[in-house]
Amino acid sequence: MNYTAEDEILIQQAWDKLAESCKKICKKEEDWNFIKRAFFLAKEAHQGVRRRSGEPYFLHPIAVAQIVVDEIGLGVKSVAASLLHDVVEDTDYTVEDMEHIFGPKIASMVDGLTKMSGVFNADTSRQAEYFRKVLLTLSDDVRVILIKIADRLHNMRTLGSMPQNKQVKITGETIYLFAPLAYRLGLFAIKTELENLCMKYRFPKEYEEITRQISESEAAREEYIRKFNAPIIEALDKNGIKYEITGRVKSTYSIWTKMVQKQIPFSEIYDLFAIRIVFQPLDFPSEKTQCWQIYSSITDIYTPKPDRLRDWISMPKANGYEALHSTVMGPDGVWVEVQIRTQRMDEIAERGFAAHWKYKHATISHDEDEFDKWLKMIRAALDSPTQNAVDFLDNFKLSLYTSEIPVFTPKGESRRLPYGATALDFAYDVHTKIGNSAIGAKINHKIMPITTPLNSGDQVEIITAESARPKAEWLDHAFTTKAKQAIKNFLKREQEHNLQHGMQLLDEKLAALGITPNNRVIRKLIEAYESSNKDELYTKIGAGIVSLDNLDKVVRTNSNFKILKFWTLFIKDNDEEGDEEYSDDKKHNKESQDSHNLVVAECCHPLPGDSVVGFKDPITHQIIVHKATCDELNRLASQHGECIVKEEIKWSQLKTQSSLATIEVKGIDRMGLLVDLANVVTNDFSINMREINIHTHDGIFEGTLSLYVRDAESLNAVLDRMRRIKGMDTVKRRIN
């Protein structure tokens, strides 16, 4: 079926717009002809096909190419690959056809953008395998990743036509992998838009409310920015600097994230905007010197906050970002962030990787910079990928950390680690052998445990011993991909040895007792020795964790089966016309029937009344119910999106048992505070308290209360009442 005349008009308009944008990258007629060939082949291949929204499918590749050239700044081959990126996957054309028509480079790029089919390990995730394939292209051509990000951005812009379960899957993938990846590649504007779109579709009410509040405060905000900027403009003009000064509002997603994490209202978000100064540098002195001169002019006007100075000019971020950030006290006692950067720095900040390479190759020096070092590290990790694609994806996600700290070797060599890294991460960053044999560290010349978290500027020396070996608990303290993978590899080798040794020991012991090791016996041992499967049982025996001294007694004892308790939830079929068609008895039966296989996630502990999403475990087939805001849900959606439950999950109207919730409190210490807290819980709300843990220091109290509550609404009522207690500063529900 061919496209209609109206469709052809839409396609021609999109093509005309793309053609206009391509003028800046087509240096010769041959470049333009190359793009046209890709356009006409892709148009013919997708002829008559439509998207779920009803529009011609071919508008999607054109839109991806438009993003690639306008918003990322890539060249001719990337535009052609964008136009062709779905041809091999969705039509009869093959990768070999692409190579024959467009050459090996385009064929390789299109292949990297094509989903895999028929080559998946049945025991792993199709999504994780696909992402693994795409990410492996980092070893060859980073442009494939950039085109994939453009593809995801356009899909997110048109997500409204997809069903709710698909929206959860796609937004989960996006927030877990694509947004951090866009940031890591320096695409800050795209990263911000991806995050905002995720919020728009997952939490539409919250998105609309925050957007409305930002809009309503716009006039007052702009007036304040004018007042703040006036003396700065006067100083810059006086010094003859060519510049542009703007006010940048914090993104909707960023505001919402802070509100959720701190459990505070919009009115308490004070850093809603930042001032950005982008200037045209002089030939002399250096860019760095000129940035500091502008900083000096500003701090002559406004007092800076010493602990909020960020110098990313002397030590740029790994994604190439360079700027000078400072927070100063503005008029009316408001802290304002000021960002200072040159035009070159600004283009790299907005265009990321493409601008980074443009400026890098425009200079004589091609020295390895922070971005090159990160890319080199990723390629090294990808050269020996793990067999488990899910582990691979999780490990890659760890490399996308956004906050970094510089630390130093004993000889003064600078190394960058993610914020939150420990001395253990440093040891593995130096060398895997150093990490595997580490027993401690000298941090700033003081002996400390190997698990000690590092701070910016620490000087670290690793203490090793030949007899030392990695421990399983190290995984709880390792932060970087390299450290986690090295520890896992060592433990895996050790586990395989222990498994074989344990199997041999058990067989010998059972033979000595005259017992045949059948499935019934093994199941009984797995339960008795608190193992999840037979491999874990053998490993524990081989490692000496489990003693077989009482084996005869265990085997001949009747098993005790554990009883699992489930929350009362039910699946509401979205195809039903309405509950009014069912009698109360029928609804009760439906709820009872559909709730038996639903369990509440341990990672986020949703309460009745919380917005929840169901995930069907691919192994146990149980439906695990997560809070809609759960980070673990995003991780699962990025790996097993097909397991997101299509039907809506609701809390049953049947009476449910109380749930345990933990509240974090902090404020000014005073006499009688504990009594006031107890009165709110026991007298005002008649709630049972499981545990209270409050401690004070320097006139400040902080701690936690564990309460049994009926649902999210009753918990919120308790929180609101506690916030009114004299001296209380922070009252919030612990998220996990």
Q: Given this model, what pLDDT does residue 577 score? A: 38
Q: Given this model, what pLDDT does residue 654 score? A: 43
Pairing outcome for strands 598-600 and 623-627: parallel
Rounded to an integer, what distance in angstroms lies between the CA atom of residue 240 and that of residue 60? 47
User: Which tokens go with 553?
Assistant: 């007694």
What are the boundaries of each domain within the chain?
5-209, 489-555, 569-651, 659-733
Closest C-alpha among 90, 109, 102 to residue 40 = 102
Is 368 tagged catalytic? no
User: Which tokens go with 690?
Assistant: 């499981």
* 555 sits in which H/E element: helix 551-555
Pairing outcome for strands 728-733 and 659-668: antiparallel
Q: Which residues contact 567 (CB under 8 A, 6 or more apart)?
A: 595, 598, 599, 600, 625, 656
Q: Which residues contact 476 (CB under 8 A, 6 or more apart)?
A: none
Closest C-alpha among 598, 729, 590, 562 to residue 653 = 590
Inter-residue contact 387 to 222 (CB < 8 Å): no
Q: Which residues contact 40 (CB under 8 A, 6 or more apart)?
A: none
CATH topology classification for 5-209? Hypothetical protein af1432 (1.10.3210)
What are the backbone angles phi and psi of residue 570, rounded to the nearest 5°? -145, 155
Place of tokens 């100083």: 235
Rounded to an integer, what distance in angstroms lies between the CA atom of residue 330 and that of residue 298? 11
| CATH topology identical between 5-209 and 659-733 | no
659-733 placed in CATH 3.90.1150.10: no
**Active-site residue among 8, 20, 44, 89?**
89
CA 584, 589, 594, 597 dihedral sign is: positive
- Would you call 409 helix, strand, or coil by DSSP? coil
Inter-residue contact 385 to 132 (CB < 8 Å): yes
Residue 405 DSSP symbol: E
Quickly count: other Cβ atoms within 10 Å of residue 262's Cβ.
Answer: 12
**Active-site residue among 90, 527, 632, 648?**
90
Rounded to an integer, what distance in angstroms lies between the CA atom of residue 440 and that of residue 450? 4
The whole-angstrom distance between residue 200's C-alpha and the CA centroid of its chain comes to: 17
* Length of the chain (residues): 736
What are the backbone angles phi and psi of residue 701, rounded to the nearest 5°? -115, 150
710 burial via Cβ count (<10 Å: 0-12, 13-18, 19+): middle
Is 89 tagged catalytic? yes
Parts of the chain with a pLDDT under 50: 116-123, 364-366, 385-387, 558-568, 574-596, 653-655
Q: Given this model, what pLDDT does residue 594 score? A: 46
Quickly count: other Cβ atoms within 10 Å of residue 691's Cβ.
Answer: 10
Inter-residue contact 145 to 135 (CB < 8 Å): yes
Q: Given this model, what pLDDT does residue 437 score? A: 93
Rounded to an integer, what distance in angstroms lies between the CA atom of residue 639 and that of residue 490? 25
- Would you call 672 helix, strand, or coil by DSSP? coil
Q: Given this model, what pLDDT does residue 581 score? A: 36
Amino acid at 513: L
Inter-residue contact 194 to 183 (CB < 8 Å): no
